[in-house]
Amino acid sequence: MSNNNPLQPIPCEILNVKKESTHEWTFRVASDADVDHGQFMQLSIPKVGEVPISVSGQGDGWLDFTIRSVGKVTNVIFEKEAGDTLFLRGPYGHGWPVDEFKGKHLVVITGGTGLAPVRSMVNLCADNPKTVKDLTLISGFKNEDGIVFQNELDKWKEHDHFSTTYALDNDEKEGWSTGLVTTFVKDIPFDTFGDDYAVVVVGPPIMMKFTGLELLKNGVPEEKIWMSFERKMSCAIGKCGHCRIDETYVCLDGPVFPYTKARYLVD
Amino acid sequence: MGYSLNPDQTAELLNRLAEDYRIYAPKRFPKQGRYSDTDIIRYDRIQTPDEIVWDQKSDYPAKEVISPIQQALFYFTEDEYRESKKAKKPVLLLARPCDITAQLVQEKIYAENGGFKDLYYDRVHNKVKFAVMDCGGGDDTCFCVSMGSNKPENYSLAFKFDENGLKAEVSDDCFADYFDGMPEDDFTPEFVEENELKVTIPDLSDRDVRLALKSHPMWKEFDKRCISCGSCTVACSTCTCFTTRDICYGDNPEVGERRRVTASCQVAGFDQMAGQREIRSTAGDRMRYKILHKFHDHKARFGDRHMCVGCGRCTHMCPEFISISATVNKMADAVDEIKASLADGGNHVE
């Protein structure tokens, strides 16, 4: 085997599987890979295929991947359990510019499983309260079945420097709001943040599009907004071409983009 | 150093070269064309000079020798796997000027983009030497001069075949010995200076112009004409996209391979993620994506040249007779219209 083959996957043991919802499970995998918050890796099952998945958590010797069973590969991953093997390569791409967010008011707006790519950064802010001044989290889900990271959502609510809004698109739930995340943007106290804040948006493309426009409408300049993209990929190293938008490769230049760039990317 | 070889000497030269090289050149495959009683010409390994098709453009590009339409990356047995093996013998590739220039594009993507070097490309590319084959000017779909791909720089030999044999120039000394005892002659390769077809590539450096162009009605025409078959991609000298595909062998799910298969942005599903809607769902959107990549995006990223060498093979292969040169010229007209409209206060056509 060559030692210079960037496509070579490494077999890694699944440590445990946590069922977040019916179709979204978090797989904890043994790995020493050094991952930035918001980066992704290529997960594969030999003879089935390879998929890009963002790292949703990390710790000493392990990585979390929160996966939705919607395709050929992810369906087979869902047949795996602790002790089984997943093949990994990466991490890839550019994650969140955490150093730039440090010491600022941070606003995080997520839709559905879009919470996964920001989860480790939000936990960093929760566990180390001095990382940011405060954190405003707006997390929306389609319905109760789609809620992921329930334990952490509950835990984050308790932090003094966190202000959380959890919402279901149409349904009612105790202690939760009802409505699309865009409807809560106007309640964010941007006027109290001065110039010292950043906004992170992750979710389905349509949610990110309208949240971006809503933020602009509320006077947030585009250079303060960051988004994470998701595109089809085969290689994750800028060769296969599937994720290209204009002259930008999502695998190399993203998946996290400043809105100054993201806004003008037209597939 | 130049040489002039008769047919016997040409055969002898190829024999000598074949000792050390696998020789690839355009070759005729009778009755394998798209229509009844038509041939296909594509690059393949050759043994004798009469197999080389030197008087006609090949249907498919030379890139197939270096990045084949399908190749194994890894072989799997249960959870164990190994990398596919590389060929040991070097390659001598007899290719047209446009095909050799096209390798500059392949190199940008496979060897440079993102700082990752693709092993499967690199291990073949490193073993290839090029012999540029004289091109009599191509045909009425060629526009290499417009694309600046008529004079390649990276070649070791220059060949001009005709009925009387071969004229050759050796520019890489490592090939000098193969010509020992062959009759010397003055020969320097000539390159096409003008094509019948000329293409105007519009200036797309302005973001507002590009955004307006993306929603211009010109792309809608392709919703009707283009059938999203991807023939243009397979025929393209520069296209590099692929999909990774895992397969099992026969009825044994424990044995199989991970494969790379050529992919086309023109075929439905190219951008579709599991459980999500397709992003470019119309033929017009896909055509717009391809054309802007070829004539703006690639150069905007890598700076040196456009991702088209003007070989015209896509035009040749299109079952709907869509001409890439006509499409680019149409785009140039649309850009003029957009620029005039933006200058006029921004009331451009939506």
The pLDDT value recorded for residue B263 is 98
Measured in angstroms, the CA of B46 and the nearest CA of chain A are apart by 30
Strand extents, DSSP E, A131-267 = 134-141, 162-168, 177-178, 197-202, 225-228, 244-245, 248-249, 256-258
Q: Is residue A123 part of a domain?
A: yes
The shortest CB-CB distance from B279 to any of A49, A239, A267 is to: A267
The pLDDT value recorded for residue B346 is 58
Q: Is residue A149 part of a domain?
A: yes
The pLDDT value recorded for residue A5 is 94
Tens digits of per-residue pLDDT, B234-271? 999 999 999 999 999 988 888 999 999 999 999 999 99
The pTM assigned to this predicted structure is 0.95
B345: pLDDT confidence band, cut at 50, 70 and 90?
Answer: confident
Q: Is residue A3 part of a domain?
A: no
CB B240 within 8 A of CB B118: no
Q: Is residue A86 part of a domain?
A: yes
Same structural domain, A64 and A191? no
Report CB contact under 8 Å: B109, A74: no
Q: Is residue A267 part of a domain?
A: no
Strand extents, DSSP E, A46-96 = 49-59, 62-68, 85-92
Query: Residue A161 belongs to a domain with what CATH number?
Result: 3.40.50.80
Tens digits of per-residue pLDDT, A239-252? 999 999 999 999 99
The pLDDT value recorded for residue A2 is 66
- Chosen for mutation from B66, B67, B73, B74 (greatest number of chain A CBs closer than 10 Å) is B74
CA torsion angle B115 B116 B121 B123 (round to 10): 100
Give yes or no for residue B126 having a pLDDT over 60. Answer: yes
For residue A17, give its domain range: 10-91
Angle of CA points A161, A164, A165, to nearest 5°: 160
Instruction: Enumerate the domain spans of chain B.
Output: 2-65+86-179
| Domain total in chain A | 2
**In 10 A of CB A50, how many CB atoms?**
22
B325: pLDDT confidence band, cut at 50, 70 and 90?
Answer: very high
- Between positions 196 and 225 of B, the ones with CB within 8 A of A are 207, 210-211, 214
Same structural domain, A254 and A152? yes
Cα atoms in the 13 Å half-sphere on the side-chain side of B344: 9
Tens digits of per-residue pLDDT, A29-77? 999 999 999 999 999 999 999 999 999 999 999 999 999 999 999 999 9
CB A164 within 8 A of CB A135: no
The pLDDT value recorded for residue B276 is 87
Which percentage of chain B shows pLDDT scores above 90?
90
Same structural domain, A107 and A219? yes
Report CB contact under 8 Å: A242, B241: yes
Which helix H or strand E contains B123, and what residues bound it?
A: helix B119-125
Q: Where is the domain boundary, A71, A91, A111?
A: A91
Q: Where is the domain boundary, A52, A73, A91?
A: A91
Same structural domain, A103 and A84? no
- Residues of B with CB below 8 A from A46's CB? 74, 76, 79, 81, 246, 256, 258
Tens digits of per-residue pLDDT, B67-111? 999 999 999 998 789 999 998 999 999 999 999 999 999 999 999
The predicted model gives A223-234 an average pLDDT of 96
- Residues of A with CB below 8 A from B245's CB? 49
Report CB contact under 8 Å: B79, A46: yes
The pLDDT value recorded for residue B47 is 94
The predicted model gives A240-265 an average pLDDT of 97
Cβ neighbours for B215, distance < 8 A, ≥ 6 positions apart: B350
Q: Please indicate if any CB of chain A lies within 8 Å of the CB of B75.
A: no
Give yes or no for residue B347 having a pLDDT over 60. Answer: no
Polymer length of chain B: 350
Q: Where is the domain boundary, A73, A91, A109?
A: A91
Same structural domain, A34 and A74? yes
Q: Please indicate if any CB of chain B lies within 8 Å of the CB of A10.
A: no
Same structural domain, A59 and A131? no
The predicted model gives A230-235 an average pLDDT of 96
CA nearest to A158, candidates A172, A137, A140, A179: A137
Same structural domain, A110 and A175? yes
Same structural domain, A131 and A257? yes
CB A197 within 8 A of CB A93: no
Measured in angstroms, the CA of B43 and the nearest CA of chain A are apart by 23
- Between positions 210 and 239 of A, the ones with CB within 8 A of B are 230-232, 234-235, 237-239
The pLDDT value recorded for residue B350 is 46
Same structural domain, A75 and A174? no
Q: Is residue A67 part of a domain?
A: yes
For B349, the 3-state DSSP assignment is coil
Strand extents, DSSP E, chain B = 2-5, 22-29, 40-45, 70-77, 80-83, 91-95, 128-133, 157-162, 165-170, 242-249, 252-262
- Which residue type sits at A2? S
The pLDDT value recorded for residue B82 is 94
Strand extents, DSSP E, B206-332 = 242-249, 252-262
CA nearest to B52, candidates B160, B138, B125: B160
Query: Residue A58 belongs to a domain with what CATH number?
Result: 2.40.30.10
Same structural domain, A41 and A108? no
Report CB contact under 8 Å: B300, A237: no
- Between positions 130 and 169 of B, the ones with CB within 8 A of A are none
Q: Is residue A170 part of a domain?
A: yes
The pLDDT value recorded for residue B250 is 85
Look up residue A97 and give its two tokens.
């510019």
Query: Which backbone phi and psi does A216 adopt, to 5 degrees?
Result: -60, -40
CA nearest to A220, candidates A116, A119, A130, A105: A105
- Between positions 106 and 125 of A, the ones with CB within 8 A of B are none
Polymer length of chain A: 267
Residue pairs between chains A and B whose CB atoms are closer than 8 Å:
130
Q: Is residue A4 part of a domain?
A: no
Which percentage of chain B shows pLDDT scores above 70?
99
B147: pLDDT confidence band, cut at 50, 70 and 90?
Answer: very high
Same structural domain, A113 and A245? yes
Rounded to an integer, what distance in angstroms lies between the CA atom of residue B4 and that of residue B21?
21
Tens digits of per-residue pLDDT, B33-71? 988 999 999 999 999 999 999 999 999 999 999 999 999
Same structural domain, A146 and A86? no
**In 10 A of CB A160, how many CB atoms?**
7
Q: Please indicate if any CB of chain A lies within 8 Å of the CB of B261.
A: no
Measured in angstroms, the CA of A24 and the nearest CA of chain B are apart by 13
Tens digits of per-residue pLDDT, A64-110? 999 999 999 999 999 999 999 999 999 999 999 999 999 999 999 99
Which residues on adjacent β-strands are paired with residue B272?
none
